[in-house]
Chains A and B, each alone.
Chain A
Amino acid sequence: MKPAAFEYHRPDSVAEATTLLADLGHDAELLAGNQSLGIIMANRLATPDHLVDLNRVEELSGYEIRDDEIDVGAMTTHRDLEFADDLRDVMPMLPEAAEQIAGPSVRNRGTLGGSIAEADPAGNYPAALVALDADLRVESTDDERTVAAREFFIAYMFTDLGPEEIITGVTVDREPFPVERTGMAFEELKRAAQTFPTVSAGTAVRVDDPDADEPVIEEARIALANVADVPLHVPDAEDAVEGTTLGEDALDEAAEAAIEAADPSPEMHADEEWKVELAGEYTRRSLRTAHTRAIND
């Protein structure tokens, strides 16, 4: 099918885009990478009267690595993040989450902001950003605010974003993640290449001394995708491994915490019980990977 008729707007700046949204309100939909909305509109599941395409807003693309934080613009593509070697050196979870999204054609056009705004519970960035405790920057004509990723995703494909607001970017504090003592992992299970993962886990681990015989975890961050209606932060799993050398007992306890917290919707290829089990298993795996990387990298 083809989409229902709509009016197309292509602003060049954030100011122009927010002004359009303020004028159009509920009748407008933002277009970021056009990797999901186009399909939804072609099937006439969504029939917005106006489409505001952000693809020409250059100020929203690209990233910056500062001493204290990283800052990624909302229109940065998955492909740009995947190949961002300098970013991979300091905040590897983001490029690792990016490189596993769908296939190259989707990654070429899909954007960070689009994925966040869509808020699919299986999406990679939402889980990664919740794990990293990122802040999202949001703008409208008369306001600019920051909202924690952990508070932004509030229900199934439902976010804190107002109809007149645009996500402009993301910042992640580097302070908890010193490169030489931190390991990160984004691990996902896919039933087939280029699909949404059944379950995934974004994990970061900081150890006290990577050269010690038995490095102790000072801080752990874990969030899971697609095992609840929002990206699932699992503080109990973090508590279970912090202060330990990640022995089997700690891993068991962390996995158990993830299993407790998981509340997944069943899917055609994965029933509820299996997804709950996977939440535990991927917590375990991603913790191991992150811990190994913290010690060896």
Chain B
Amino acid sequence: MTQGRCPSCGADVEFTAGSAQVVVCSHCQTVVARKDADFEALGKIGRVVVTDSPLQVGAEGRYDGSAFQVVGHLQKDHGAGPWDEWYVEFADGRTGWVSESEGTVHLLFSGGVEEGLSLSDLHPGEKLRLRNRHWVVEERGHGKVIAAEGQLPSDVDPRADSWYVDATSSKGAIITLDFGVHASDPEVFIGARLKLEQLGIPPDQLRPRVRRKVDLKQARCTECNGPLELRAPDKSLRVGCPFCGALLDVSKGKLSFLRLLEKPEHAPLIPLGAKGTLRDTEWMCLGFLVRSCTVEGIRYPWEEYLLFNRSKGFVWLMNSQGHWVFLEPLAAGDVQLVPHVSAFFDGRRYKAYQNVHAVTENVQGEFYWEVTAGEYAEATEYVAPPYSINVDSTENEVSYTFGEYLAPEVVKEAFKLEAVPSPEGIVPSQPNPHKAKMLSTVLWSIGWLMLLLLVAGLFSATSLNKVVLDQQVTVPAEATPGTPSAMKFSEPFDLERRGNMKVYVAAGLMNDWMGIQGDLVNQETGEVVGFYEEVSLYQGSDSDGSWSEGSANGSLHLSALPAGKYVLRTTASYDPTPARVRNYTVRLTHDSPNGGWLCVAFVLLLLGPVFAFFRSHNFETRRWADSNLSE
């Protein structure tokens, strides 16, 4: 520990952190550096303003098995209000920086200087290979240190406008490239996104969440004097007046008029201030945006509702044509992106759906960033219904959100709304309602097909399938076709039981035809079952080569015949010229399963899945019809 007096005011100052090079005098805000045994005044710095951060100088915690203490505090201004960074020193000598943003903290350690990197080469959304990892640049910005307290590793210059680039990688990894006032060779800070609890700071060492800007809670619009009840004054940077459409700035601790906007066509479906429970978290509706894109001269508007929970941060509900999507922030580094083709996240592939220029048209309520009407962003959507990855990029920042489609009833129930509009058309991440049905249909069909095959197997196994007659018939040359002279009676044969009959007819043909009229006569009852089967076979050759038409055999099934003794009479018909001996065969197979019925049943069982597939496919076709990125 090094103690001494402030060279400026004489107040006591002390260095407790071995890594600190300067300490800010708590009495006069002089930045005091230790130089050998003496203290030197380096100039004054602003006094920190109270923010909503729970951290404070002196707090002690434990991370990754090593104890640390918060020894310094910087307050920066990136153009959107104060931003806190806390300097921590570990018991093992390491030092790091902690920052907090919307319920998560970032702990970063210095990684030295990276040579060869240029600020002008790094743009939001671009990939970066650094320190054996892939990173995605999320933000490029600049800001000044406006205030400081405690001990710090180096001098702070409130005049210096420093440039930085933030990038993320998978598993919560984050990197900041501090370019300082130069445009090359940044100092690298690498770390991770954590929950506050992971820092191991006892609750009694955390500062209670104070409500800054309490005076803004019941503010009035500077334009119309309408009452503005700010619900998160400590978070909000912009307020859109619901009465007159004025857009007001909150970043300086008071409301100041920015510009007048057109009032939205209708009031928000979810009233500002309304509370609703989604995913086991109670959210309050803070803001309402109307955004749109214009494609081929047609404006496509949608609404976005900003929801807030003090411990979970901000999420969005998007309403487009009565369809709702719940959107959560996502680190760009967690997503593997093939721009305008596909995105991979959490083991799922998302297909690029659309890329549009989205413009913010109307603003109501409170917002945690400096929203401006007329603001353009390039919005790209990747879908794997019911999920989506949305990438919004501006010149200096890219933000990723993970979306999940919600049924309108879910939103209606969550916020106790009286009514929500009925969904129209199909939105990109809308789940295909026919897909589950198709899956169910296919599963049922497979089940029934298996049962069908089982039943068919049983019928086949229990059928007689017995040849009761195999008769070779010779028709003499002098016989007249179709007359008793071309007739043949079989020997009687028995049918043991009731069953159908398969008739097979084959004739010795060559460029000829023959018709067989058969009559199965029940010798006991006199009942007759007649049939006619004609076969023909023609062959030849021409300039295209040899050809063949027809077949010398054929078969047919007869309905069930009762058991009994039968005789088959066959009468042949044929072309009488030239007169010659003709031969044919008739074979009767009794109780032979009809494969035709199996085919019919098979086809009928396939009708369901085929219909379900086409219905599902039609839905997907209509979904992708509006895509400007699909092939």
Q: Do A and B bind each other?
A: no
Task: Give residues in A with beta carbon < 8 Å to B.
Answer: none
